[in-house]
Amino acid sequence: MTVNITLIVLMAAFFAAGIYLLLERSLTRVLLGLILIGNGANILILAMSGGAGQSPLYVEGRPAEDYTDSLPQALILTAIVITFAVTAFMLGIIYRSWVLGREDAVQDDPEDRRVADQSSYDYEDDADIPADTSEFTAVDAGALGDAEATADIRDTRGADAVGGAASRNGGGAGRPDPTATQKRPGGEPR
């Protein structure tokens, strides 16, 4: 197989420039980088087709080696169409990103930042389990009272639910009620 050195150098230049642009934070440059890499890949396919030859139209008596390998050109054509579609779509979302936020840069994921910043202590999982889990104690009254006190802030429908839930919860199975333990009057401090 013969290899065309010009094509290889061109491909390397495209890849180098493409990867440099891809690592930028500006979306337009990222897109330009992707286009360059796409074209570099197409040139690579062309370089792999093994040199130019006669056009692949059947002529009687011509040996098979004289024809150009037409398959890589078909592959390149398909790849160009695909890159074209993706480029058009990328331009669309870059424009949309600009319209929405006047921002042409890759943005951080807010939820990811939030999870990274949260403390490792989790109230629900790591809090001490209260020792007193017996049913029908003073806890019930306390929990109910607290819930009603906080309910002033909420709308009436919400308040009923909180009150109902708290009393049901305290009177039910021995499951600790966080609001009860936290705000129990006279209870041991957490």
Chain residues that interact with other proteins, rule: CB under 8 A: 1, 22, 27, 30, 34, 37-38, 41, 44-45, 47-49, 71-72, 75, 78-79, 82, 85-86, 89-90, 93-94, 96-97, 100-101, 106-107, 109, 111-112, 115, 118, 124-125, 147, 154-158, 160-162, 164-166, 168-169, 177-179
Cβ at position 167, least distance to other proteins in Å:
10
- Stretch (H or E) spanning 100: helix 71-101
Nearer to other proteins, 60 or 109 (CB): 109
Cβ at position 125, least distance to other proteins in Å:
7
Q: Report d(CA 23, CA 17) in Å as an integer.
A: 10
Q: What angle do CA 101, 37, 7 make, to 5 degrees?
A: 155
Cβ at position 174, least distance to other proteins in Å:
14
Q: How far is CA 172 from CA 44, 131, 135, 150, in A?
A: 71, 16, 7, 22
For the chain, the residue count is: 190
Cβ at position 70, least distance to other proteins in Å:
11
Tokens 């495209």 belong to 14
Q: How many CB atoms lie within 10 A of CB 145?
A: 14
Nearer to other proteins, 38 or 142 (CB): 38
Tokens 């499951």 belong to 175
Cβ at position 8, least distance to other proteins in Å:
11
Q: Report d(CA 30, CA 106) in Å as an integer.
A: 9
Q: Report d(CA 7, CA 18) in Å as an integer.
A: 16
Tokens 């370089």 belong to 47
Nearer to other proteins, 139 or 147 (CB): 147
Nearer to other proteins, 95 or 137 (CB): 95
Q: Which two tokens stand for residue 131?
A: 């020792």
Cβ at position 97, least distance to other proteins in Å:
5
Nearer to other proteins, 52 or 161 (CB): 161
